[in-house]
Amino acid sequence: MSEKHDPITALGEMFDSIVTLDSLEKAGKCGSGTSVAKAVRRKMGQTGWEYCCNLRSPTSPRPDFTEQMTRDGYMYRYYLRHAYLVCIGARRNYGALFGRGPPPSVCAIGGGPGCDILGLMMACKPSMANSKVNILDRCREWEHSWNAMLDNLPSWMEPAEVTYHHFEFEEKQLSPTQAEVVRSAAIITMVKSLSPVTAMLREQTPVFEDGEETTTPETSLYAILHHMSPGSLFLYIDNKVGTQRSVLEDTLAHLSFTVVDDQGLGKGAWLPSRDVFADSSRQGFRDRLKSSPCTRAGKNEMILLRKN
């Protein structure tokens, strides 16, 4: 892979694309004292607080991304960090994911603005331009953010064809369209989307105990894993701290999967901010917004599974 196409170089160019999103561009041009910049910072702080503190109860409201300013703020703060996690995980498992070439189809569960897809695009060579990608998310407005960012990506990053579908983790069954999307996917990704709904799923998922029969979970997570086709891969990346892994394991106990990889994503997966954000124009933008993108985001883990 040439230096021009190196993931680190790509991250910097993606950041240039992100700051052209409408809310961020206005905030960056006008300076930190403007109402737009203050509003963007407030939205970023509110979203971060909700993810950290407000998702421990199954009845807690999740962040509302229907508003563009909230989506733009989220992308500025977390997008590159999450895409880089996927890129690191995918490169560590290149043979399993891309050994036969770019995947014909990918489905991102709770994929939001497509950080899963962008991470795979950075890791995969040749490009995923011919891959069919479906993103299932409760907020269809993320499609506007994805398209706006694609308009400013470097020309060598040929984007995959992406289709958005409405999806709710609260629904215990998949619609016929959702089920077909999952069945047809060679790779299913679930990146940072399980932890926000863990409290809700925990109430719905029977705890699996050795030697005891438990009822089959009636959850959206079970439905997704159940509808996956034999041979397809499930790429999971999320916080290492929390109960989301136990919810996943209790669900997997009722299905047949083989573990391809299971490892932590520690310091080696931190976003290299010195390289990505070193340019003076980028630093100037961050100075005006009075906020920096997330580079570490705690301890994370990756699990790669193959459906038997």
Q: Can you give the pLDDT at residue 55?
A: 56
pLDDT in tens, 131-145: 999 999 999 999 999
Q: Can you give the pLDDT at residue 102?
A: 85
Least confident of 104-113, 192-201, 254-263, 272-281: 272-281
Q: Can you give the pLDDT at residue 230?
A: 97
Question: If we measure between CA atoms, which residue out of 186, 194, 99, 108 comes closest to residue 146?
Answer: 108
Query: What pTM does this model have?
Result: 0.91
For the CA atoms of 246, 248, 250, 256, what is the dihedral angle to 10 degrees? -140
Question: If we measure between CA atoms, which residue out of 194, 187, 307 comes closest to residue 255?
Answer: 307
Q: Can you give the pLDDT at residue 2?
A: 43
**Residues 36, 40, 42, 43, CA torsion sign:** positive
**pLDDT exceeds cutoff 80 at 159:** no
> Residue 161 region, left (φ>0) first, then alpha (ψ -120 to 50), else beta?
beta
Distance CA(78)–CA(296), nearest Å, equals 10
Q: Which residues of 154-182 are buried (b: 16+ CB within 10 A; e: fewer)?
A: eeebebbebebbebebeeeebeeebeebb
pLDDT in tens, 25-81: 888 887 777 888 888 888 888 887 776 654 555 566 677 889 899 999 999 999 999
Kindly report the average pLDDT of the chain as a whole number. 85
Q: Can you give the pLDDT at residue 54?
A: 45
Q: Can you give the pLDDT at residue 59?
A: 62
Q: Can you give the pLDDT at residue 37?
A: 87
Question: If we measure between CA atoms, which residue out of 117, 228, 112, 219 comes closest to residue 166?
Answer: 112
Distance CA(83)–CA(70), nearest Å, equals 19
The amino acid sitting at 167 is F
Tokens 């289709």 appear where? 163
Q: Can you give the pLDDT at residue 112?
A: 93
More confident residue, 213 or 290: 290
